[in-house]
Structure 1
Amino acid sequence: MSARISTRQRAEHRDAEAARIDRVRARGHVPEACGSEIPQAPARGAFRVVEPVQHAPDGTSRPSGYRGRKAIREIDAFDRMALQALRAGKPHPLTSSQIAMGRYYRDLTERHAASGMRGARYDGLVGGSGSGGAGGGYMDAVIRDGRRLALLHARIGSGVSLKVRRMRPSVRGTRVNIPDRQLVDQICLSERSVSEILERANWALSGTARRSCTQALAEALERMMGPARGQVLEVAHFGDGPQSIWAA
Structure 2
Amino acid sequence: MVKNHKMKDHGRDQGMTYLDRMAAMAEKQPENRIAAEAARLRAAAAACSIPDRCGPDIAPSPARGGFVLARQVELLPVGSDKVEAVHRGYGGRSAIRAADVFDAMLAAAARAKRPAPLTPGQIAIGRRYGHLVELLAADGTKLSSLEASFGSGAGRDWMDLRMEYTAELERMRLRLGDEPAMVLRRIRPSQRGRVLAPGERAPYIFTRRELIDGICLKGYSIKQVLALFSWQDNGRNAKAALEALSGALDAMIGYRSQKTS
Instruction: Give the TM-score of the pair, scaled to structure 1.
Output: 0.82
Q: Which residue of 1 aligns with 2:49?
A: 29
Supply the distance in 2 between the matched residues of 1:104 and 1:56 (Cα, whole angstroms).
Answer: 26
Cα offset, 1:175, TM superposition: 4.2
Where does 1:1-248 land on structure 2 (aligned, <5 Å)?
Answer: 6=23, 9=26, 12-55=32-75, 60-119=84-143, 120-121=145-146, 125=150, 127-128=152-153, 133=155, 136-173=156-193, 174-227=202-255, 231-233=258-260
Higher share of residues assigned helix? 2
Per the alignment, residue 238 of structure 1 pairs with: none
Q: Give 1:50 deviation, angstroms.
A: 2.0
Distance 2:76 2:132 in 1: 25
In structure 2, the gaps of 5 or more residues are: 9-19, 194-201
Aligned residues of 2:49 and 2:60 also touching (Cα < 8 A): yes
Please give the alpha-carbon distance, in whole angstroms, between the structure 1 residues aligned to 2:147 and 2:75. Answer: 24
User: Which one has the largest radius of gyration?
Assistant: 2
AA of the residue aligned to 2:179: G
For 2:216 and 2:25, how far apart are their aligned partners in 1?
A: 51
Post-superposition shift, 1:67? Answer: 0.3
Structure 1 residue 7, shift from structure 2 partner: 9.1
2:13 corresponds in structure 1 to none
Secondary structure of 1:114's partner? helix
Q: Offset of 1:232 from its aligned partner? A: 3.5
Distance in 2, Cα, partners of 1:172 & 1:25: 43
Two-structure CA RMSD over aligned residues (Å): 2.7
C-alpha contact (below 8 Å) 1:124/1:142 kept by paired residues: no
Identity of aligned residues (%): 34
Change (3 A) 1:150 1:123: farther
- Residue 166 of structure 1: CA displacement? 1.0
Alpha-carbon displacement from aligned partner over 1:169-204 (angstroms, at most 9, x marks no partner): 111114411110010011011100010011111111
Gaps of 5+ in 1: 235-248
Match of residue 245 from structure 1: none
Output the CA distance in 1 between the equivalents of 2:242 and 2:39: 41
Q: Is the 8 A contact 2:203 2:230 kept in 1?
A: no
